[in-house]
A and B are shown apart, each in its own frame.
Chain A
Amino acid sequence: QKEVEQNSGPLSVPEGAIASLNCTYSDRGSQSFFWYRQYSGKSPELIMFIYSNGDKEDGRFTAQLNKASQYVSLLIRDSQPSDSATYLCAVNTGFQKLVFGTGTRLLVSP
């Protein structure tokens, strides 16, 4: 079982819709959780992090964490074509090491 699992997609949503990206992790001791966005040919860019159960909102983005279910999600409201990218979930398993999922490709159609 991989440490961090994501559906590879592509996840297709129309412009203006809510995109929901999901991630599960295997290490119950994981302490903090990150979402990175990566455009094709570019480097990963940090969007949000969360370390407490519940929701954390930042503009159009909401990260949700459920440690009991070992589940992290990212909601993107009012999706825009410019949100089309690969979204990487990463989990801090200790000592500052991040383990990355393989990413979910999001396509937002105009």
Chain B
Amino acid sequence: DARVTQTPRHKVTEMGQEVTMRCQPILGHNTVFWYRQTMMQGLELLAYFRNRAPLDDSGMPKDRFSAEMPDATLATLKIQPSEPRDSAVYFCASGSPVVAAYEQYFGPGTRLTVT
């Protein structure tokens, strides 16, 4: 069945290292969202793309985070250099503006721990 996939599911890294997270949206969905979830802040929108073009990345720390969609089946989120405060669960979601209510479907998430 159609679902969003994310890799890796878990990542433990040391401060200063580069982290790359990948997302494959549901086939046919042309909008991709990156969220970060922490206990303190809840779900925060980091960036989103429509038809591979970035529409909004205002929620993302620009100095260390970058998001791209090299093709319609792959979205990436990179953190360089990583810091302990980046520890969180990162979710990718996809959707389609064709559907009236614009619902989004979430992937399983990448749990990131930066030590």
Which residues of A are interface residues toward B (Cβ below 8 A)? 32, 34, 36, 42-46, 49, 51, 88, 92, 95-103
Which of chain B's residues have a CB closer than 8 A to the CB of A46? 103-105
| Category for how many chain B residues contact A | 20 to 34
Which residues of B are interface residues toward A (Cβ below 8 A)? 31, 33, 42-43, 45, 48, 50, 55-56, 91, 95, 97, 100-109
Closest to B92 in A: A43
A-B contact count (CB 8 A): 49
The DSSP consensus for interface residues of chain A is strand
Q: Nearest Cβ in chain B — how far from A8, in angstroms?
A: 10
Cross-chain contact B102 with A96 (CB below 8 angstroms): yes
A97 and B91 contact, Cβ closer than 8 Å, known pairs A34-B101, A44-B106, A49-B101: no
A96 and B48 contact, Cβ closer than 8 Å, known pairs A44-B91, A49-B101, A102-B42: yes
A44 and B43 contact, Cβ closer than 8 Å, known pairs A92-B101, A96-B95, A97-B48: yes
Cross-chain contact A98 with B101 (CB below 8 angstroms): no
Cross-chain contact B103 with A51 (CB below 8 angstroms): no
The answer for the CA separation of A78 and B56 in the assembled complex, in Å, is 41
